[in-house]
Each structure stands twice: as structure tokens, then as C-alpha cells.
Structure 1
Amino acid sequence: MLGPFDLLIPPALLLGSLLTLPFTLASLALKGEISRLSSWPQLRHLWFQHLWFWFGPNTKILFAPRVRPLLAQAKGVVLDIGPASGIWMSELSEAVKQGKVSKIYGVEPNRLFHPQLLASAKRYGMADVYEPLDVYAQDLERCGVQKGSIDTIITVHVLCSVGAETTELVKQLHEYLKPGGQWLVYEHVASEHLPVRMWQYLLNLIWPTLLDGCHICRDTMQTLRQAVEWEKIELVRDIKEGYFESLPHVYGRLVKAA
């Protein structure tokens, strides 16, 4: 906790994103792919891929104390929603090695990450287990994933970025869980403190544009609790984060009724 200086962390990330944009544009020029500038989704995905190259792995150490114990609970057939480059692949591989996980679908609509996902899966001995899916979470049936067939859903820093209406997406993903299936969650959410939440809303005027559709002020905890009926809700705020934390987290597990 940095006290009031925590308020400066999101602007620093926005600055990092802006500084990454010239590199993205230069890479397009060097590859002779300037035509991709005409497609905002393509440019946004490539821009975020370059940002994540340095940001994702370098921040893993900050979140690992909460995320690692969470992923250790994964079992059966897993939907890994929005894995990006797969920075948590090593943790998932432990569950595979222990025989707890039999299949992992990496639902990553930014296909630029797929080569990294496949390479990481091979590196950690999961080439036959991990399958990237080039779809958004709401389009899973197009890839043959059947409703009621999933034992574990994982969302780590994902629900802030879904383009669909979050409540509706939670309802849709809930249908893919088997009875008794679990949803493992680690998400940044809206602050419970009004002054900090107002700061989040101000930042959110440009946050989604610079960070591939991410929203800094979604009340994901309430959405997950209220969108559907759960048999068990073990979802809490991270009490180690202070009053001024501008990217506060909730984490835990939700279990579908058997």
C-alpha cells in the first residue's frame, strides 16, 4: 500500500500504454502493414499485445500471492477466459501434472496471442491439453463447447474488458458450468470508497481506449453475486489493499448448484 500515491498507478499505466503506441505504429511500418491502421480492432489488439509484452509478466509478482492458490483449485475441464499471452500457464500446468485438470480451453479472441499460448503450453508439457479458442466468451458454442460441460471457469483480470453486457455474460458462462462446477475469480473492480470511485470514473473516460476495452470502474463483485443463483459464494475483497487503491481486487470462488 502506497497511501495516496496509489492514485497515481492507473495514470502511470495509461502513460505506459501511450508510450507503447509509437512502437506499435513503427512495427506496422517495418512490416509493410500500414493498411491495418484502417481497422481499429486490429490496431487495438496489436497495441495491447505490445503493451502486455512488458506489462503482463512484470506485474505477475504483484498478483501471484492471490492468484496461485486460486488456480491450484482448478479441476476437470477448464475454461480459461482471456488468458492473453498465458502468464499463468505454469500454475495451470501444476494442476495438469497432478491429474486434477484434463482439458483447458483458452478463450482468447485476440488471435495475436495464440502463438504464445501454444508455445507456453508446449513448454509446460500441456500441448495435448491446452487449446486456444479464437472466439469471445459469448460465442463458445461456435467452437463446439457444450453448455453444462465445464468443471472450472477461470477469469483473471478479464471481466473488466468484456465487450458484452457483463450481467448477461455471467449468465451465459454460468450455463456452461456443470452442476457443482466452480468459477475462480481474480478481478479489479470499482472502489467501495466514493472519492476513489469518482477518480476511477474520471480515468475511465480514456481507460477503455488505451487499454483494449478495459473498464476501471465495473462493480464486478456485485454482478457476479446477483446475476445468477449460486450454491456457494466465497468472494471477498482484498483487505491488504488500502483506501486509495485505484485498482482494488476481489477474488475467490463461486459454485454452481448441484
Structure 2
Amino acid sequence: MNFTVSFDIVGQVKAAIQAAFLPTLIALLRDPILLIRPHEVLRIIMAHVWRLYADAIDDNARPTKEKLLPANCYGVRVLHIGAGHGQTALYLDPTKVTKYVTLEPNTLMHPKIRITAAKNGFTEETGTLLILPYGAEKISLITSALGGAHAVDTLVSIFSLCSIPDPEQTLTAFVNDVLKPGGTLLFYEHVLSPREDVARWQRFWTPVWVYIMDGCRMDRPTHLWIENMDAWAEGSVWGKDDEPEEHLFWRRAGRFVKKDD
């Protein structure tokens, strides 16, 4: 693998540290008890890092999102795993989606979700926006908040499955317990490269990246986990147009329809 590509991530790490260091330090000085709450510190870091990267990542992903989301998101509830700033709301057709449900455990991002979703008409006041402050692994809390199992018509993940705990188990629970029969799973994720030389560098950088990006791993074959689930009536996976093979954030998108019991 090209040496320059292998170390391209260094600049991103540096920018992330610069964006998060001072505001995180200020937060620690104001509330020293955070020193014994490392998960909260990581969420503070991620909130500031995401403020730096969110718009650029969305711009880069726009062609894929425009192909994936508007035509395939539909139903009473569209649930977005790891919503971040809620930019998926901007790709939804309000005439096809009754309620945009966001799953975002980092409450520091919730104000931005409200602002972004409102740009496309999804608000809490009108009952068209629901923000759930849970991690993806909290399946029982999620189903309870939705009024029961199999309450979601379309399940969406955009660069989120890289960071959920126990990913294979959590994915299985989402599909079995949250997504309704006949419902659709849509994803766009950076995944483990099939090229062993690229995969070695992904594994090399993951221990660094995981702490800066609140659990984000570069070495998960997420698309294969989804593809191999025995839950689908149909499905397809495709790549980002013109993406080089030598890429630490090798991406795959997919659409899968759950079997209708």
C-alpha cells in the first residue's frame, strides 16, 4: 500500500485533536468529576470533532446518500442509528416518512439534530421527530420507547455501525426485534478492506482512531455481517463511485429487505 495513503490519517488525527483539546480541557476544569467519567469525556471530544467533520463528510457522501435514501426511506417510522447531527433528515421525503426517529446517545448533539431536522419539516412539536438518547445496544429501551417490537419501517445507518458495541449481536437484535417484517435496512459504512495490505493498516490505526472518534473502528467487515444474516428476502451491496482500492476508509452501501413473515 502506498506510504502516503497509509499515513494520510495523521493529518485527520491532528485536526481532531486540535478541534477538541481546548474545549475538552475547559469542560474538565469546570467539572473535574469528569475525570472519573471517561465515557462522558469521550463524548465531549466527539461532539467537538464531529462539529469539525460533519458537513464535509456529508458533502462527500451526498451522491451515495441521494441514491440510497430518498427513494428507499418510507413508512410511519424511519429510525436513524447514530444520528450525529441528523443530516439524514435532509434526504428524506416528508410525504413518505411520518416520523424521523434518531438514536443518538451523545446528548451534546441533540440540539443540532433538532435544527437540522426542522429544515425538512421534522420537529418534536409536530410529532414528526423523536430523539432517543440510547446506545444502539439498548434494544429493550428502544422498543419500549417505540411502543413495542417491530415498530420501524426503515432502519438507516450512515457511518455508525463502526462504533456500536457488540456489533453482530446488536445488528441481529435490531433486525429481529426493531425492524418490522418487510421493512428495509439501508446502510453506508466504511468497512474492512478486502485487500490485506490495506486491512493491515486499518488494524494498525484503529487503536488510535477508536479513542478520538468515540469508539469508531476502521476494521469491521460490517457489510459482510449484514449480507450473511439469514433475515433477508432480497438485498444488494455496492461501493462508492470511483473510490480507489487503496483507501483506509473503504466504503460500502447496501439495501436489504427483511423477510415478510
Structure 1 length as normaliser, TM-score?
0.90
- Which stretch of the first structure deviates more once superposed, 3-12 or 102-111? 3-12
RMSD over aligned Cα, in angstroms? Answer: 1.8
**In 1, Cα distance between equivalents of 2:55 and 2:104:** 17
CA deviation after TM superposition for structure 1 residue 239, in Å: 5.1
Q: Is the aligned partner of 1:101 residue 2:97?
A: yes
Q: What does residue range 113-124 of structure 1 map to in structure 2 within 5 Å?
A: 113-124=109-120
Secondary structure, aligned partner of 2:157? strand
**In 2, Cα distance between equivalents of 1:63 and 1:5:** 23
Corresponding position of 1:22? 21
Correspondence for 1:187 among 176, 189, 207: 189
CA deviation after TM superposition for structure 1 residue 227, in Å: 3.1
Alignment CA distance shift 1:186-1:145 (3 Å): farther
Correspondence for 1:218 among 220, 228, 233: 220
Higher relative contact order (CA 8 A, sep 6+): 1
Q: What does residue range 1-258 of structure 1 map to in structure 2 within 5 Å?
A: 5-28=4-27, 32-72=30-70, 73-76=72-75, 77-92=77-92, 95-96=93-94, 99-127=95-123, 128=126, 129-139=128-138, 140-163=142-165, 165-175=166-176, 176-238=178-240, 240-258=242-260
**Contact kept in structure 1, 2:80 and 2:157, CA below 8 Å:** yes
**Contact kept in structure 1, 2:90 and 2:119, CA below 8 Å:** no
Q: Which amino acid in 2 is paired with 1:64?
A: R
Long gaps (5+) in structure 2? none
**In 2, Cα distance between equivalents of 1:254 and 1:131:** 24
Q: Which amino acid in 2 is paired with 1:88?
A: T
CA deviation after TM superposition for structure 1 residue 21, in Å: 3.3
CA deviation after TM superposition for structure 1 residue 37, in Å: 2.8
CA deviation after TM superposition for structure 1 residue 190, in Å: 0.4
**In 2, Cα distance between equivalents of 1:197 and 1:217:** 7
CA deviation after TM superposition for structure 1 residue 4, in Å: 6.0
Q: Which amino acid in 2 is paired with 1:81?
A: I
**In 1, Cα distance between equivalents of 2:49 and 2:233:** 38
**Contact kept in structure 2, 1:207 and 1:215, CA below 8 Å:** yes
**Contact kept in structure 2, 1:170 and 1:227, CA below 8 Å:** no
**Percent of aligned pairs with the same amino acid:** 23
**In 2, Cα distance between equivalents of 1:228 and 1:138:** 20
CA deviation after TM superposition for structure 1 residue 82, in Å: 0.5
Alignment CA distance shift 1:142-1:11 (3 Å): farther
Alignment CA distance shift 1:232-1:23 (3 Å): same
* 1:93-149 Cα shifts (integer Å, max 9, x gaps): xx11xx100111100011111111122223332112111101112321242442222
Q: Which amino acid in 1 is paired with 2:208?
A: I
Long gaps (5+) in structure 1? none
CA deviation after TM superposition for structure 1 residue 29, in Å: 5.5
Secondary structure, aligned partner of 1:227? coil
Alignment CA distance shift 1:52-1:208 (3 Å): same
CA deviation after TM superposition for structure 1 residue 69, in Å: 2.0
Secondary structure, aligned partner of 1:62? helix
Secondary structure, aligned partner of 2:7? helix
Alignment CA distance shift 1:5-1:22 (3 Å): same
Count of aligned pairs between the two proteins: 250
CA deviation after TM superposition for structure 1 residue 34, in Å: 3.1
* 1:13-38 Cα shifts (integer Å, max 9, x gaps): 222222233223343157x2233232
Structure 2 length as normaliser, TM-score?
0.89
